[in-house]
Chain A
Amino acid sequence: MNKFKTLALVLFNSAALLATSCTKENDATSEPVKATTLSVNTVIDLDGSKGAVYYSLSTNKQVLGDDITAGKWDIQFSDRNIFVNGGTSGIGATQAQIVNSIFNDVNTAPTTGYKTDAIGVNAILSNDWSIYTNTNSVPNHAVLMVPGKIIVVKTSYGKYAKLEMKSYYKGNPDITTPAFADLTTRPASSYFTFRFAYQADGSTTL
């Protein structure tokens, strides 16, 4: 009788062990972050609510008026679309690609893999960096960022920059709140918040 009790316990304990042992994997967090020497610029609430907005990464300024037609911009925001100054979108030769990583880990720009905008296939697709939530989601009908999508830009002058989109709504709001979920209290859309680092020396170091 005792024999069976012990066996039962052993079996049950081994069951518990078997089940829990599989959870014990190394919890190593991401490798130490290398400090970037470049300054990181954060652009807050670039107002695209009245139409497309153009931005120059080299001057860290919005591009307006005649400078747009003169091609003095690198990147354009229009609703959920991001265009680069090249191909079907501009007179420049700007190219871009998405790198799956986190901002601080992209220390070197890739040398290949860039694309410029073409009909139907832009360098950066809206679904690459954002999702539009459906009717049944909470929050619904919202444009949310996809984490880990770093946009690496090669400008018309062959300079590299990395850019991370942070928000599509005015004030970079917390998207998990009931106020955001409620369409009547949700902040205005097409206000772009992003951060970027621009390498002026022409190297791939970011």
Chain B
Amino acid sequence: MKYIFVCLLANINLSAQAQQVDTLSADTTKAKKLKEVVVTATRTARNLMQLPLPVTTISNKEIKNRGMVRLNEILNEQTGLSVLPDAHGQGIQIQGFSPDYTMIMLDGMPLIGRSTGILDLSRITTNNIDKIEIVKGPVSSLYGSEAMAGVINIILATPQLGGSGSIAARYGTNKNADISLNGGYATDKLSLYGFVNRYSSGGYSLVPQSGSATVSPFVGYTLNGRVGYKFSDATNFKVQVRNYTNTADNNFLVDNDRITGDGTEKDLNMSAGLTHKFSDKFTGDARLYHAGYSTKSLLINNTDGSVYDQTFFDQNFNRAELQGDYKIINSLRFTGGVGGQTESVVATRYNDKKNFQSGYAYGQADWTPFKRLNIITGGRFDTHSVYRSQFSPKLAASYQLSEKFVILASTGKGYKAPDFRQLYLNFTNAVVGYSVFGTEEAVFELKKLQDAGQIQSILIDPATLRTLNAESSTAYNFGYRYRPINGLMWTVNMFRNNIRYLIDSEPIAIKTNGQSVFSYLNLQNVYTQGAETDVTYNFSKHWTVAGGMQFLQAYDQSVLDKIKEGQVFGNHQASRETVKVTKSQYGGLLNRSKYMGNARIAYQDDKTGIITSLRAIYRGRYGFSDVDGNGIVNRDDEYVKGYVLFNASVSKMFLKNQLRLQVTGENLGNYKNHGAISNLPGTLVYAGITYNFNKP
């Protein structure tokens, strides 16, 4: 690979004279920020400052300055976001919601492919993007299911006029390598873009003596191609294809038997969009989207050559959508759309091919009755072939007390549909002997076990499980954006999410082997609430200091009720006697830190071409496991201790900002916790090089 890289570098047309704008001078940045435009929150381009919803944006430039290449890396440094380590991938927690409840989008289209609800963020390269927009709070009113905690939209880069290209490479600890090649060509009418990325790692083991890897070596490729064509000033056509494949080389020990084999993952997205401006007032969009996600793994026991485990998963998603945007008068704009979707899955743990059909319609009015007040209201209706129809309304308003101070308030409903697993899973653990059935399969499968004489007792009649409701939430967000002086921005947002019908697994029967049969039920009512704040200050042209924190509480209402009744018990850590659990001892939902924070100091000097920053990310202690058998967190030894990560990067720009050399360090304090945190392999050091060119 090294040789290829050198060859590529040599082939780049070094005579390209024009200066690629990799870094913008501090002044333009400020000017740009004042008028920063966001599309995700309303499905229309909107000025950020007055937008009545909590929105964060991360620019490509900022990601590059920090030396980051994958989505999980950059999101982990954002206020209020937490990237969770899990065997099924690194997912995102927003406002205390599990990864299942955040929609990840690519140019407004949802990515699919989740393992136990987690969409692994490391699948997504940040080398070909323009920016990331994060909307917190439910946006189901526009995007439907999954957009319950919020939405992360990755906006892909569009090529500049003329020919442009770049090559970027980063290499470091654990043989982590990331190499990207970008090429673009654009005229007034036509734009072409191609992108290749190779991402690989030698993996690592947090417990080397175990003989098993924590993360197995892998190689991932991302290919992305885009074509845009402007038929006229009024008509635009865009088509794009992205393909990601990843092959992991598994190798681990189970009871002294060595298990080896490949696991592959494929993620394909294709979209086409046509935009036509019928008049100054009315614009229409038509979009088609296809996404496919599949995994395959075959693990062999090397001792006797037998198949240890063989699985496949194949999911397809298709969508057609029409959207209209009508400016009735300058201060009132209406956006509406209709769409239809089909979804299917075939997998090892499902009986046969499963299909979903759904349709939806949404509408939104964006009204500015007078200059200082902006009101956005709307809703979306989703109808589905399996679960009940959903209506998700939204109301949001912002009020400008002055140009510098804007108050925002919003309320809305969010929902998440039951997924394939909750509906159709048919799984029996071969080692321990328990079974898990989706609600649509439970009646039939339980009867089968009963007929086979494997059931000792039934706890919940599966006939009562039949209709699983979508999980839904009602959310309230309230806060402000405040820019007291140029260069200083302070935001605050308080939130409360009341979540109903949370789906969880519950034993429905006891087998004769003493193990349980599980199925899924709308069980819990939980709530999350808290506040977050962010401050960024740019001063003396070169410096930026920034900091943020989030306070969070996330509780299961039924546990709180039971504590009130004195019906929750624990085991005292020292005396090991049974005790009653009090409310103050109840730690809430697992994996939620009560306090999280971050701080950043950055320096940029355009004359010398030095760009550097140091970041500290704090994650407060969080509940990790239940030790004393009551199913909740209540003892100190059930928590993971809080920790701080220090990340730093230094860049030096050469050749009029065309060439960048960079050193990046992550987790400089070498923090590790092998029992609890699988995604921190210790200090990571990377060297990076980027070369850009552009020829108008």
Instruction: List residues of chain A with CB under 8 Å of any chain B CB.
Output: 1, 4-5, 7-8, 11-12, 15-16, 18-20, 22-23, 25-30, 80, 100-103, 105, 120-121, 125-127, 131-132, 134-138, 141, 144-149, 164, 166, 172, 174-176
- Kindly list 18 other residue pairs between chains A and B, CB separation below 8 angstroms, not including A80-B514, A101-B569: A4-B402, A7-B405, A8-B405, A8-B482, A19-B529, A19-B530, A29-B582, A30-B566, A102-B580, A134-B432, A134-B434, A137-B625, A138-B625, A145-B571, A148-B570, A148-B630, A164-B578, A176-B627
Known A-B contacts A4-B402, A15-B492, A121-B457; A135 and B571 likewise in contact (beta carbons under 8 Å):
no
Q: Which residue of A lies closest to B456 (CB)?
A: A120
Whether the Cβ atoms of B569 and A147 lie closer than 8 Å is yes
Could you pull out 30 A-B pairs where Cβ atoms are within 8 angstroms? A1-B404, A1-B484, A4-B402, A4-B404, A4-B405, A4-B482, A5-B484, A11-B480, A11-B492, A15-B479, A19-B530, A20-B551, A22-B553, A27-B582, A28-B582, A103-B577, A120-B456, A127-B507, A132-B432, A135-B429, A135-B432, A138-B675, A144-B629, A145-B571, A147-B569, A147-B579, A147-B628, A148-B567, A148-B570, A149-B569
Chain A residues with CB under 8 Å of B431's CB are 135
Chain A residues with CB under 8 Å of B655's CB are none
B672 within 8 A of A: no
Q: Which of B292-315 contact A (CB under 8 A)?
A: none
Chain A residues with CB under 8 Å of B434's CB are 134
Chain A residues with CB under 8 Å of B478's CB are 15
Chain B residues with CB under 8 Å of A20's CB are 551
Chain A residues with CB under 8 Å of B516's CB are 127
Chain A residues with CB under 8 Å of B87's CB are 136
Known A-B contacts A102-B579, A175-B627; A19 and B531 likewise in contact (beta carbons under 8 Å):
yes
Q: Which residue of B lies closest to A125 (CB)?
A: B510
A80 CA to B513 CA, complexed, in Å: 11
Q: Which residue of A lies closest to B512 (CB)?
A: A120
The distance from the CB of B440 to the nearest CB of chain A, in whole angstroms, is 24
A146 CA to B626 CA, complexed, in Å: 11
Chain B residues with CB under 8 Å of A22's CB are 529, 553
Q: Which 4 A-B pairs have the closest CB atoms?
A: A148-B569, A147-B569, A30-B580, A15-B531
How many chain B residues touch A (CB < 8 A): the figure is 52
A31 CA to B450 CA, complexed, in Å: 46
B490 within 8 A of A: yes
Known A-B contacts A7-B401, A12-B492; A19 and B514 likewise in contact (beta carbons under 8 Å):
no
The distance from the CB of B206 to the nearest CB of chain A, in whole angstroms, is 14
Q: Which residue of A lies closest to B527 (CB)?
A: A22
Chain B residues with CB under 8 Å of A175's CB are 627
Known A-B contacts A135-B432, A176-B627; A100 and B567 likewise in contact (beta carbons under 8 Å):
yes
Whether the Cβ atoms of A102 and B569 lie closer than 8 Å is yes
Q: Which of B584-637 contact A (CB under 8 A)?
A: 584, 625, 627-630, 637
Whether the Cβ atoms of B583 and A19 lie closer than 8 Å is no
Whether the Cβ atoms of A100 and B629 lie closer than 8 Å is no
The distance from the CB of A7 to the nearest CB of chain B, in whole angstroms, is 7
B2 within 8 A of A: no
B371 within 8 A of A: no
B568 within 8 A of A: yes
The distance from the CB of B227 to the nearest CB of chain A, in whole angstroms, is 46
B93 within 8 A of A: no
Chain B residues with CB under 8 Å of A135's CB are 429, 431-432
Chain B residues with CB under 8 Å of A1's CB are 404, 484
A18 CA to B478 CA, complexed, in Å: 12
Whether the Cβ atoms of A176 and B492 lie closer than 8 Å is no
Whether the Cβ atoms of A147 and B578 lie closer than 8 Å is yes
Known A-B contacts A4-B484, A144-B629, A147-B628; A12 and B582 likewise in contact (beta carbons under 8 Å):
no
Whether the Cβ atoms of B630 and A126 lie closer than 8 Å is no
Q: Which residue of A lies closest to B563 (CB)?
A: A25
The distance from the CB of A150 to the nearest CB of chain B, in whole angstroms, is 8
Q: Which residue of A lies closest to B407 (CB)?
A: A11
A102 CA to B431 CA, complexed, in Å: 34
